[in-house]
């Protein structure tokens, strides 16, 4: 899926205390993180969403939007947001995929569970998937590493003759290819 067009979708989402429709095409021209997780009211998921929320302003400064996605309904997202202290700080859309259609399009759907794997996709402003990570549902992801990947992807997009070596961080030396 890397360097291919991200599968399009429209779906309900809980965002800004309302249930709205989101359309992937509305994020054209921005960097986008699709943050798939198994389910609301679970153990690891609120820690991940809280950490994303803590860093949301940093993502916005980098022209990055976040869509979190699970197989719960928008009403379940709303209930979880209202009842969980960890979720009250989430300001990005929480996308509902109760039929698993989006999860299936991105290859994250676990058929026998009706849930998504933990998966993260970074999509560039042209709608092209530039990074894909999938984890077993027993381990959480690292938001600092997600920020580093976005910075690296943005850097090489803006500097086509440079590559980011192992453990590269913003401002560090890159590898020049010409």
List pLDDT tens digits, range 133-164: 999 999 999 999 999 999 999 999 999 999 99
pLDDT tens digits, 37-75:
999 999 999 999 999 999 999 999 999 999 999 999 999
Residue 25: per-residue pLDDT: 97
In a domain, 81, yes or no: yes
Give the residue-averaged pLDDT of 86-94: 95
Catalytic residue list contains 164 = no
User: What pLDDT, on a 0 to 100 scale, did the predictor assign at position 21?
Assistant: 98
- List, for residues 106-141, the tens digit of each pLDDT value: 999 999 999 999 999 999 999 999 999 999 999 999
SS percent in the chain: helix, strand, coil, step 5: 30, 30, 40
Say what the pLDDT of residue 12 is. Answer: 98
Query: What pLDDT shows up at residue 3?
Result: 98
Domain limits for position 72: 10-140
Q: What is the pLDDT of residue 167?
A: 94
**Residue 1 resides in a domain:** no
Of the candidates 6, 11, 45, 52, the residue annotated as catalytic is 45
Asked if residue 5 is part of any domain, the answer here is no
Between helix 143-158 and helix 45-54 the angle, nearest 10°, is: 50
The answer to whether residue 160 is domain-embedded is no
Element (H, E) at 102: helix 101-106
In a domain, 71, yes or no: yes
Indicate whether 178 pLDDT > 90: no
The answer to whether 99 and 62 are in contact (CB under 8 A) is: no
Query: Does residue 60 fall inside a structural domain?
Result: yes
Domain count, the chain: 1
C-alpha R_g of the chain: 16
- Which CATH number goes with the domain that contains 90? 3.40.30.10
Is residue 152 in some structural domain? no
Which phi and psi (to 5°) does residue 70 adopt?
-140, 175
Q: Is 100 a domain residue?
A: yes
For residue 33, give both structure tokens.
Answer: 């993180």
């Amino acid at each position: 899926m890397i360097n291919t067009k991200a599968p399009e979708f429209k779906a309900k989402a809980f965002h800004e205390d309302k249930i709205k429709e989101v359309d992937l095409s509305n994020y054209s021209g921005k960097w986008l993180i699709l943050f798939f997780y198994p389910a609301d009211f679970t153990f690891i998921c609120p820690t991940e969403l809280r950490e994303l929320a803590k860093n949301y302003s940093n993502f916005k400064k980098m022209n990055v939007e976040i869509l979190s996605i699970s197989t719960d309904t928008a009403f379940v997202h709303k209930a979880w947001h209202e009842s969980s202290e960890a979720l009250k700080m989430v300001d990005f859309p929480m996308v509902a995929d109760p039929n698993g259609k989006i999860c299936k399009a991105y290859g994250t759907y676990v058929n026998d569970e009706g849930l998504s794997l933990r998966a993260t996709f970074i999509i560039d402003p042209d709608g092209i998937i530039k990074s894909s990570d999938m984890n077993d549902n027993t381990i959480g992801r690292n938001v600092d590493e997600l920020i580093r990947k976005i910075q690296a992807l943005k850097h090489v997009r803006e500097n086509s003759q440079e590559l980011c070596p192992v453990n590269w961080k913003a401002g560090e030396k890159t590898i020049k290819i010409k």
